[in-house]
A = this chain, B = another copy of it.
Amino acid sequence: MENLDEKIEVHFEKLKESLANENINAFRTNFLDMHPYDQAEFFIEIEPSDRMLIYSYLSPEELAAMMEHIELEDIQPFFVEMDLNYASMVLGEMATDDAVDILNEMDKDKVVSYLTIMDEEEADEIKDLLHYEEKTAGSIMTTEFISVNKTQTVKETMVQLKKEGPDAETIYYLYVVDEEKKLVGVLSLRDLIISDDDVKIAELLNENVFYVSVAEDQEEVAQIMRDYDFLAVPVVDFQKHLLGIITVDDILDVIDEEASEDYSLLAGISDVDRPDINPLTAAKKRLPWLIILLFLGLLTASLIGQFEETLSKVTILSIFIPLIAGMAGNTGTQALAVAVRGLATGEYETDGKFKLILREAGTGLITGTVCGLIITIVIFLWQQNLYLGILVGLSIMATLIIATLAGSLIPLLMHRMNIDPAVASGPFITTINDIISVLIYFGLATTFMGLLL
């Protein structure tokens, strides 16, 4: 991307200069020449006073194009610092789905005042979308799509495209609806382009149109679009009325978001992808997990405390505690990751779950036996104590089997209880497995104490 970086640097310098000189023409020429994403990068890094100048230099429409490229989490302060009228107009000019995302994060009062000032038609479209629940198809769809009628010709449709094209989110799919606005088919711009002018839409349309329900989970929609390589998918209500479309650029964001959510939870940290501005905000995100784990750790300690007599007689037992607890944690995390990903991709429908548990039991048995045997031999050679080797080996074996099962059963149970299984985060499973492993180890040691002394 060398060519990009250089060009952008030059542009940024020029822009800063023209803002310093309050040279509106030079600024507009250079600014509007950039891609909206780069405009946004520039906009974010400058001083508030310079941003105020920009609000007076650019039309709401020009600013709206740039705003669509600012991350949702960072955008609110900019609207707050704008004049209320100007802010309403910017929101009105943005793609409806993006405007809705922004308003969804704001106070109700604020939203009402924006919508009151805004152009009525735009405000109505936004109000319709504000209802939809987060993370559903409805919440990420846009209402700026092109719909056509079966009876139109290719030529008529091209004329329509020239008119409606500039405002539509995509013109690469045209949706065919009947008189009641019910979806009856789809047509790609590609099909249109390669057809002759007087062909009727009825001859070109594909009635086998894929659609998603407005209440569908956004992750499901992403899966479909990835599998079928769609650039857009129509969204309908229960009577199959066409409500909106979801485009692939929104899906890229969904995939990114869901993946980083799973990743964050495996790491035991809320929201790994928001940049941490300072140590305090970073600590705030991590402390809740750490404190919960601290108390779970104290529970483990008090459980080991029950075996103090065993420990005081055979001190050497304690040196293997981190080994056994660590192995339990690791194997549990592996099983967890497999189960969480499998649930996310819909791999385990109905009977698949029982299969998963069986397979994990088998996997635990194999890994447990292998690791148990290795450790028995190593400890026997190292400590010259066969019984100790067998004790640790057996503990590792039992631990690995149970920890593997726990790692897959817990997310499955959470899934059944309609809790996102990814919430069964890595550290949580690890700590549960710590406790199980310590109980197995000291339980066995106490039972067979005679052999160890």
Chain A interface residues (CB < 8 Å from chain B): 1-4, 33, 35, 37, 69, 158, 161-162, 165-166, 171-172, 189-190, 193-194, 208, 210-213, 216, 220, 224-229, 231, 248-249, 251-253, 255-256, 259-260, 262-264, 266-269, 272-273, 275-276, 278-280, 282-283, 286-287, 289-291, 293-294, 297-298, 300-302, 304-305, 308, 311-312, 315-316, 318-327, 329-331, 333-334, 336-338, 341-342, 345, 347, 359-363, 365-367, 370-371, 374-375, 378, 382, 396, 400, 426-427, 430-431, 434, 438
Tell whether A1 pairs with B224 under 8 Å between CB atoms, given A193-B161, A248-B231, A330-B290.
yes
With a cutoff of 8 Å between Cβ atoms, the chain B residues found around residue A194 in the complex are: 161-162, 165-166
With a cutoff of 8 Å between Cβ atoms, the chain B residues found around residue A4 in the complex are: 210, 224
Tell whether A294 pairs with B374 under 8 Å between CB atoms, given A165-B194, A190-B165, A279-B359.
yes
- Verify A347–B35 contact, CB threshold 8 A: no
Query: Complex Cα distance A298/B376, Å?
Result: 12
CB pairs A–B below 8 angstroms (22 shown): A1-B212, A1-B220, A37-B229, A172-B172, A172-B189, A172-B231, A263-B263, A267-B334, A267-B338, A279-B362, A279-B365, A286-B331, A290-B327, A298-B378, A298-B382, A300-B322, A300-B323, A301-B319, A304-B322, A329-B329, A333-B426, A333-B427
- Verify A268–B367 contact, CB threshold 8 A: no
Among B171, B273, B329, the residue within 8 A (CB) of A341 is B273
Residue of B nearest to A359 (CB): B279
A185 → B minimal CB distance (Å):
14
Residue of B nearest to A264 (CB): B337
Among B255, B276, B321, B434, the residue within 8 A (CB) of A256 is B255
Among B193, B220, B321, the residue within 8 A (CB) of A165 is B193
Residue of B nearest to A210 (CB): B4
